């Protein structure tokens, strides 16, 4: 569920963090994407496999973060590979794809090297082994203890502009994420099922 917090106090809870600084609710549209510093798997070659990625990387770009529950599972590689096939489309829109889970960078590397659909992934796989980013985003599944199947589109100013979460057992549609990115980049009113190149609404 996506939470919306009112701008003025109306008796609703406006602070999603508990006394320990842990986020109990998922961040939503209009909020700032959290600061992070994570190791990531960026290549299949051991000597060049890993890189530390932070909020300071990809400045001035749109960013699409998508998380999955676990490596070496069944649904996850289908959508990860599908995002990989659309990487050029996202790059053409000045957007950087960033995938991630709570698995380590070494598990990511092993998975990439052992799954034929993941060998040539063109985007980093973030390793949130301490669960810090997932907790900050409010997407750490309370029962399974892993990342939920969540997607965030973040604008160049670091503001979340789109959020979605699927059940752990249901893969998402990367083409829909691309469509939403296209719509957001118009900065116009876009009707249901709008596609890039179609007229926007005029008011």
Tell me the domain boundaries of the chain: 37-186
Which of 3.30.479.30, 3.40.30.10, 3.40.1190.20, 3.40.50.300 would CATH assign to domain 37-186?
Answer: 3.40.30.10
pLDDT reported for residue 1? 29
10 Å CB burial of residue 157 (0-12, 13-18, 19+) is: exposed
Residues written for the chain: 203
User: pLDDT tens across 84-122, in order?
Assistant: 999 999 999 999 999 999 999 999 999 999 999 898 899
Rounded-to-integer distance, Cα 55 and Cα 38, Å:
10
Rounded-to-integer distance, Cα 51 and Cα 170, Å:
30
Where the chain has pLDDT below 70, the residues are 1-24
pLDDT reported for residue 20? 54
Which residues are marked as active site?
Answer: 76
Q: What is the largest CA-CA distance in the chain?
A: 55
pLDDT reported for residue 164? 97
Least Cα distance to 157 among 92, 62, 90 occurs for 62
pLDDT reported for residue 23? 55
Check: CB of residue 26 under 8 Å from CB of residue 1: yes
């Amino acid at each position: 569920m996506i939470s919306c917090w009112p701008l003025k106090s109306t008796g609703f809870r406006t602070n999603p963090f508990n006394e320990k600084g842990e986020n109990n609710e998922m961040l939503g549209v209009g909020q700032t994407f959290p600061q992070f510093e994570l190791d990531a798997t960026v290549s299949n070659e051991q000597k060049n496999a890993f890189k530390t990625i932070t909020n300071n990387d990809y400045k001035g770009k749109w960013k699409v973060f998508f998380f999955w529950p676990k490596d070496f599972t069944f649904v996850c590689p289908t959508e990860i590979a599908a995002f990989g096939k659309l990487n050029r489309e996202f790059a053409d829109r000045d957007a950087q794809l960033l995938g991630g889970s709570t698995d380590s960078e070494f598990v990511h590397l092993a998975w990439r090297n052992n799954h034929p659909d993941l060998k040539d992934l063109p985007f980093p796989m973030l390793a949130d082994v301490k669960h810090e980013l997932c907790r900050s985003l409010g997407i750490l599944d309370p029962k399974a203890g892993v990342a939920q199947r969540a997607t965030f589109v973040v604008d160049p100013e670091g503001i979340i502009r789109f959020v979605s979460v699927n059940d752990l057992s249901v893969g998402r549609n990367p083409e829909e994420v691309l469509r939403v990115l296209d719509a957001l980049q118009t900065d116009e009113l876009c009707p249901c099922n709008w596609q890039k190149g179609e007229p926007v609404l005029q008011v």
